[in-house]
Amino acid sequence: MKRPLTLIAKARGSPVRAYLSASALPETRRRTPEWGGAALSRNPLAAGTRAGAAPPWLAVQAALMSLVDSRVRSDWWDSPSSLFLQFDEPIDSKVCRHLIRRYTGQGKHLHSVFVFVQMQRVGVRPDSFTFAPVLKSVARLCLREMGRSVHAYAAKANFDGDVYVGTSLVNFYGGCLLIGDAHQVFDEMGERNSVSWNALITGYTHNRKFAEALDLFREMQADGVEPTEVTMVGVLSACAHLGALSLGKWIHEYIDCHGLSLNEFLGTSLVDMYAKCGAVMEMEKAFVAMRIKNVYTWNALISGFAMNGRGEAALQAFSRMMMENLKPDGVTFLGILCACCHEGLVDEGKRYFRIMKDEFGLCPGIEHYGCMVDLLGQAGLFSEALHLVQNMDLKPDPIIWRTLLGACRTHRNVPLGRYAARKLLELEPTNADNYVLLSNIYAQDSMWDEIAQLRAMMNQKALAKVAGCSSIEIGNAVYEFIASDCLKPEVHDLLDDIRKELKQVGYAANTGLALYDIEEEEKESSVAFHSEKIALAFGLIRSPPGSTLRIVKNLRVCQDCHVFFKLVSLVYKRGISLRDRNQFHHFAGGSCSCRDHW
């Protein structure tokens, strides 16, 4: 139960600690308590009790506030338990509903859930309007069992036929990574509208089931339900993750033709979709076309440039953003540091890392340190990198150590590599990638005994590597290939032919790292049939001559494939864009946009 909580919290950008307790209700970490200990006059709810125009929800609020005043408890709002412990009067369900709405609206999700629970305790019956906000809070906290019992309660009270309640339930299950349950609730809903469809589709994208999200989008249309802006945000996000450029372009046209409003959400999704499909020009056009932009939009643009190897454009975008007086946030600097990293701009990176704290008062997160470690490590500045890791005010996570280990491989630094690997395996002993990475370092220096030891450790733990998988979009279809896949003879032969041809311009297979790979399957297929090469060969056969080949890979590209792709772009005069796990490689005329730095 703990793990999915972290996952969803990370996905939603609000780290939480979820422990239900009556005495202490910890809140989302980033939020400073607004009402805690403060004078009651600072309570926004108290506004209505002052003289002047009264807001519409005044009646209930005023009643609440006078109750509060009579009890003289200024911390009342921060500890809703006092509502139930101290008041002799029977608690009204309207009061509870408002309380829950306010708490959820303020991001005080545990308070909201707590009030709901207390309502059951003292026998106050919620109405159908109470379920939506409490389910939102339950979803945010990823309290799965709690959500299930809320669901059961709603069913018992016959509220589950309500579209609002049903849609909230779909959203809850989807948000807690229980997409099967979300779909089931959706199927059983008596009444559905576009909002319910949207909840289900975004649920699928949250659960990283992108292809299924697109299927649902088709189903929705077949059902005669018009997509809305929110639908398109979800669908574009799925396109972005899949690298499905042609569908993304189709959505863009649909938006224009059907007069969907290009608001911040939709515009940002478009920018991000083009960025993640490697279509930098279209990304810029989509960005320029937007009327209203906010920090999300700029962040999508900046990281879009960064991941496409356009570091200088990312930095320029940042200065334009400054000129428009927009306040950058942590994500902005993540994009910037990432850009510096890909460009190898060590001093620039250090400068931005400094000004993010000094000028903008932003506290660097582990991700920012991760970028810095990568930046320093890839530049070969090992003592600085290590110093940063050992002196940062956050506990280094596995990614930090793996980044350092990766830099050690690039620069063949065995001693530091051993150290980083030891730290890494302490934290993450069951991740096969870690062993492979260290084994690659040993392989470079022909340290066979160490490699044998690693192999034994892996066998003992029965660790398996993630299979390499590449996809290529041709026309309106996406084709997927797995390394060591059964090859079509035509593709196999073509790969042979290509290899022969490339050898004439100086290609020599770089199998060094793969030969000592630990996975049996990998050894058999070796680098010659890495999934991206198969996709490339397939693309050369099937796509119209001269068109750009777009390939998406789930892992990072290996040295050999990188050289291979560069030469194919030269010899066959084809533009190729390869999306890595990390970034884009745009190949043309024998060179790559990453300048061999990745």
Instruction: Indicate whether 196 belongs to the interface with DNA (CB under 7 A).
Output: yes
Judged by CB under 7 A, which stretch of 30-38, 73-81, 125-133, 569-577 contacts DNA?
125-133
State both tokens at 255: 């938006």
Count interface residues toward DNA (CB under 7 A): 76
User: Which C-beta is closer to DNA: that of 200 or that of 568?
Assistant: 200
Instruction: Indicate whether 97 belongs to the interface with DNA (CB under 7 A).
Output: yes
User: Which C-beta is closer to DNA: that of 338 or that of 513?
Assistant: 338
User: Which C-beta is closer to DNA: that of 335 or that of 539?
Assistant: 335
232-261 burial by CB neighbour count: b if 16+ within 10 A, else e? bbbbbbbbbbbbbbbbbbebbeebeeeebe
User: Which C-beta is closer to DNA: that of 10 or that of 500?
Assistant: 10
Fill in the DSSP letter of residue 473. E
User: Which C-beta is closer to DNA: that of 354 or that of 503?
Assistant: 354
Site for DNA in 414-443 (CB under 7 A): none
Instruction: Indicate whether 133 belongs to the interface with DNA (CB under 7 A).
Output: yes
- Binder of DNA out of 65, 199, 283, 540 (CB under 7 A): 199
Candidates 179, 181, 180; CA nearest to 150 is: 181
Fill in the DSSP letter of residue 226. P
- Binder of DNA out of 349, 406, 417, 539 (CB under 7 A): 406
- Binder of DNA out of 102, 108, 109, 136 (CB under 7 A): 136
Query: Terminus-to-terminus CA distance in the chain, angstroms?
Result: 36
User: Which C-beta is closer to DNA: that of 126 or that of 539?
Assistant: 126
User: Which C-beta is closer to DNA: that of 49 or that of 268?
Assistant: 268
Instruction: Indicate whether 265 belongs to the interface with DNA (CB under 7 A).
Output: yes
User: Which C-beta is closer to DNA: that of 225 or that of 487?
Assistant: 225
Please report, as a single letter, which amino acid is at residue 33.
Answer: P
Fill in the DSSP letter of residue 574. -
Compute the least distance from the CB of residue 205 to DNA, in Å.
Answer: 6
What are the residue ranges of helices labelled H in 159-228? 163-175, 179-188, 194-206, 210-222
Instruction: Indicate whether 235 belongs to the interface with DNA (CB under 7 A).
Output: no
Length in residues, the chain: 598
Site for DNA in 209-228 (CB under 7 A): 228
**Gap between the Cα atoms of 106 and 80, Å rounded:** 14
Instruction: Indicate whether 124 belongs to the interface with DNA (CB under 7 A).
Output: no
Percentages helix, strand, coil for the chain (3-state, rounded to 5) are: 65, 5, 30
What are the residue ranges of helices labelled H in 359-447? 366-378, 382-391, 398-410, 414-427, 432-444
User: Which C-beta is closer to DNA: that of 215 or that of 229?
Assistant: 229
State both tokens at 239: 């396109």
Compute the least distance from the CB of residue 240 to DNA, in Å.
Answer: 6
Site for DNA in 342-381 (CB under 7 A): 342, 366-367, 369-371, 374
State both tokens at 88: 């002799």
Judged by CB under 7 A, which stretch of 22-30, 131-139, 479-487, 584-592 contacts DNA?
131-139
Residue 479 neighbours by CB under 8 Å, 6+ apart: 471, 472, 473, 535, 538
Instruction: Indicate whether 11 belongs to the interface with DNA (CB under 7 A).
Output: yes
**Gap between the Cα atoms of 218 and 238, Å rounded:** 13
What are the residue ranges of helices labelled H in 224-307? 229-242, 245-257, 264-276, 280-289, 295-307
Compute the least distance from the CB of residue 498 to DNA, in Å.
Answer: 29
User: Which C-beta is closer to DNA: that of 49 or that of 403?
Assistant: 403
- 149-168 footprint of DNA as x/- string (CB under 7 A): -------------xxxx-xx
Instruction: Indicate whether 40 belongs to the interface with DNA (CB under 7 A).
Output: no
Instruction: Indicate whether 48 belongs to the interface with DNA (CB under 7 A).
Output: no
Instruction: Indicate whether 269 belongs to the interface with DNA (CB under 7 A).
Output: yes
Instruction: Indicate whether 207 belongs to the interface with DNA (CB under 7 A).
Output: no
Instruction: Indicate whether 171 belongs to the interface with DNA (CB under 7 A).
Output: yes
Distances (CA, A) of 287 to 22, 282, 318: 48, 8, 14
Compute the least distance from the CB of residue 341 to DNA, in Å.
Answer: 4
User: Which C-beta is closer to DNA: that of 36 or that of 380?
Assistant: 380
Compute the least distance from the CB of residue 568 to DNA, in Å.
Answer: 25
- Binder of DNA out of 215, 397, 450, 521 (CB under 7 A): 397
37: left (phi over 0), alpha (psi -120 to 50) or beta: left
- Binder of DNA out of 18, 399, 467, 482 (CB under 7 A): 399
Compute the least distance from the CB of residue 73 to DNA, in Å.
Answer: 25
Judged by CB under 7 A, which stretch of 66-74, 380-388, 398-406, 546-554 contacts DNA?
398-406
Site for DNA in 284-343 (CB under 7 A): 294-297, 299-300, 303, 329-332, 334-335, 338, 341-342
User: Which C-beta is closer to DNA: that of 135 or that of 495?
Assistant: 135
Q: Are 116 and 134 in contact (CB under 8 A)?
A: yes
Residue 288 neighbours by CB under 8 Å, 6+ apart: none
Judged by CB under 7 A, which stretch of 147-155, 267-275, 413-421, 536-544 contacts DNA?
267-275
Candidates 295, 292, 298, 251; CA nearest to 271 is: 298
Site for DNA in 548-577 (CB under 7 A): none
Compute the least distance from the CB of residue 503 to DNA, in Å.
Answer: 31
User: Which C-beta is closer to DNA: that of 167 or that of 470?
Assistant: 167
Instruction: Indicate whether 409 belongs to the interface with DNA (CB under 7 A).
Output: no
Q: Are 185 and 153 in contact (CB under 8 A)?
A: no
Burial class of residue 327 in the structure, from the number of CB atoms within 10 Å of its CB (0-12 exposed, 13-18 middle, 19+ buried): exposed
Residue 404 neighbours by CB under 8 Å, 6+ apart: 373, 377, 385, 386, 389, 416, 420
